[in-house]
Amino acid sequence: MRAYGRGRRLVAGAIALLALGACSTAGPQAAGRTDPVAVNATAGPGTTASTSASGSAAARAAGGASAGTPAGASGSASGSPSASAGAGAAAAAKGGCARPANSSPKARVTAVKLPKAVVGYGSEGDTEKLPMAIAARPDGTSWLAWTSTNGKIYLGRLGCDDRLTGTPAAFTGIDLQDVAADATGGVLLLTRKGTCGDGPLCGGESSPCNTMHMVRFDNDGELVWERQVTNLTGGRQGYDDGARFVWWYQHHGRLATDGKNWAAYFCVAITVRNGACVDVHQGDRLQVVSANGKLLGGHADAAEVGCSHAWTSRIVWDPRAKRFVAVCATDNQCRIAQPNPYRTIATGTCDGSLFAGDVVLAGTGRWVAWSQGGKVNLERFTTGRSNRTVATGVSAAHPHLVGYGTGRMLLAWQSGSSMAAQAYDSGTGKAVGARLTIGAKDHAYQAFKAYADGSAAYPAGGSGGTTVKIARVLPLR
């Protein structure tokens, strides 16, 4: 497969990549887009330079957390998200938000005014910028990250009431991918501008040649470290043999943590020499980074290339197996698969509608939601093919799946201009209770996140560029 022009779908090529079979791309993709210009290569993988907006200790002093605050208040690099006020802050200080549990699933949707506008949904394509991501903090509050129309990635703190507190931090980035949290802060996965170099390409055009980064922040929202998880450096540019970079084509990714290390699983462009020129392929990549920002190249779960071609790359930490478990949709035999090495979970068809939802832990093994031709299934698997299939009867193109308290999971999907959801037993796969309507707009590539109190939350577009919605499904008894 050679390099391909902007805004065009990949087509079948003449060679296989790293012995991974190549066939026609079946992943969904938006067309007719304007690509960012590739300029200003970032520093190499080891860089720790501060790339967030200027810090403000005074802002933290005006309402941020002290070192002894238990994962409650947070600050930022451009002002400090202060501790939430009133009953919400008191509950957070006790280690939880005291959200009410119900006998059946109930949704609460909260409108949140943002100080900086978020990018629109567009056509929700896998080549477009991701508007928002949310992360559950251990105290029950949240981090909300968003891609702004001003070319920055913002990070704000949401209190127990899901409303913004304090002033968000600003970080250098052109496209958000995910955000995850732990007791001492969290990690952003985001894209920055890179450079392609001179090539030469064997044909076509595949720019831009951007970079993917993990950005570690503390509970004040201040930069701790950052690590490039692609491999462009001063000595390697996008059109150099062996480069792994982020281009206009499918490039979204997700984060997971084992409580110490952080894993990023994301789609990449793959540069391969072909005589006197180079071809550009597409696949995905799994990189693991230590608690202090060191790239763990020898980690058992790390993969230079996982699936190819790849889209909807998903990942979860499984403490029972002590592994990061990754799942992709791929046109390699047209399937939902585990990478490195390939193991088929479910067999699909390369008709442009194959889509992997999210992966969560099961009573034994894991569950993945996926869709084909608008029909959604749940598959339970361990290390290979599914050992239980649940035909949900749901008609949707882009399912979401998230853990939902002890022994349950929540499947969600677009339903008209809103969303719908159904709880399931994560051991048996049996439906729990009735379907639920959620008054928020779906986005194909945004994710629900699970909270320790048994709730789940999802960031959604609101009315206008500076208002968003946080859709929370409250806990079950």
pLDDT tens, residue by residue, 237-271? 999 999 999 999 989 999 999 999 999 999 999 99
Which of 35-39, 200-204, 273-277, 278-282 is least confident? 35-39
At 223 the pLDDT is 98
Percent share of the chain, pLDDT over 70? 80
Contact 77, 64 (CB under 8 A): no
Which token pair is 335? 């399937």
| Average pLDDT over every residue of 438-443 | 98
What does pTM read for this prediction? Answer: 0.83
pLDDT band at 48 (very low <50, low <70, confident <90, very high): very low
The DSSP bridge partners found for residue 303 are: 286
Contact 318, 361 (CB under 8 A): yes
| Average pLDDT over every residue of 69-97 | 39
pLDDT score of 359 more than 70: yes
| Average pLDDT over every residue of 24-48 | 30
- Chain-centroid distance of CA 396 in Å reads 20
| Total Cβ atoms within 10 A of residue 389 | 12
pLDDT score of 437 more than 80: yes
pLDDT tens, residue by residue, 3-16? 333 322 333 232 23
Domains and CATH numbers, the chain: 109-473 (2.130.10.10)
pLDDT score of 62 more than 60: no
pLDDT band at 412 (very low <50, low <70, confident <90, very high): very high
Tell me what the pLDDT averaged over the chain comes to.
84
Picking from 441, 440, 463, the residue whose alpha carbon sits closest to that of residue 117 is 463
pLDDT score of 336 more than 60: yes
At 114 the pLDDT is 97
pLDDT score of 31 more than 50: no
At 78 the pLDDT is 36
368 HSE (CA, 13 A, CB side)? 29
pLDDT score of 131 more than 60: yes
At 126 the pLDDT is 85
pLDDT band at 464 (very low <50, low <70, confident <90, very high): confident
At 18 the pLDDT is 31
Sign of the C-alpha dihedral computed for residues 232, 235, 237 and 242 taken in this order = negative
Please identify which residue in the block is written with the tokens 């409580």: 259
| Average pLDDT over every residue of 115-129 | 94
The DSSP bridge partners found for residue 211 are: 192
At position 462, the amino acid (one-letter code) is: G
Picking from 330, 231, 244, the residue whose alpha carbon sits closest to that of residue 280 is 244
Which three-class secondary structure string do you get for 374-428?
A: CEEEEEEECCCCCCEEEEEEEECCCCEEEECCCCEEEEEEEECCEEEEEEEECCC
How far, in Å, CA of 441 to CA of 294, rounded?
38
SS3 assignment, position 93:
helix
| Distances 441 to 111, 149, 183, 322, 463 between C-alpha atoms, Å | 12, 19, 30, 36, 11
pLDDT score of 387 more than 90: yes
Which of 25-39, 128-142, 357-371, 385-399 is least confident? 25-39
Which token pair is 355? 């889509």
At 96 the pLDDT is 83
135 secondary structure, DSSP code = E
Strands in 175-182's sheet, in edge-to-edge order, are: 175-182, 185-192, 211-218, 223-228
pLDDT score of 34 more than 50: no
pLDDT tens, residue by residue, 310-322? 999 999 999 999 9
pLDDT score of 72 more than 60: no
pLDDT score of 304 more than 60: yes
Rounded to 5 degrees, φ, ψ at 312 are 45, 60
Contact 474, 106 (CB under 8 A): yes
| Average pLDDT over every residue of 194-214 | 93
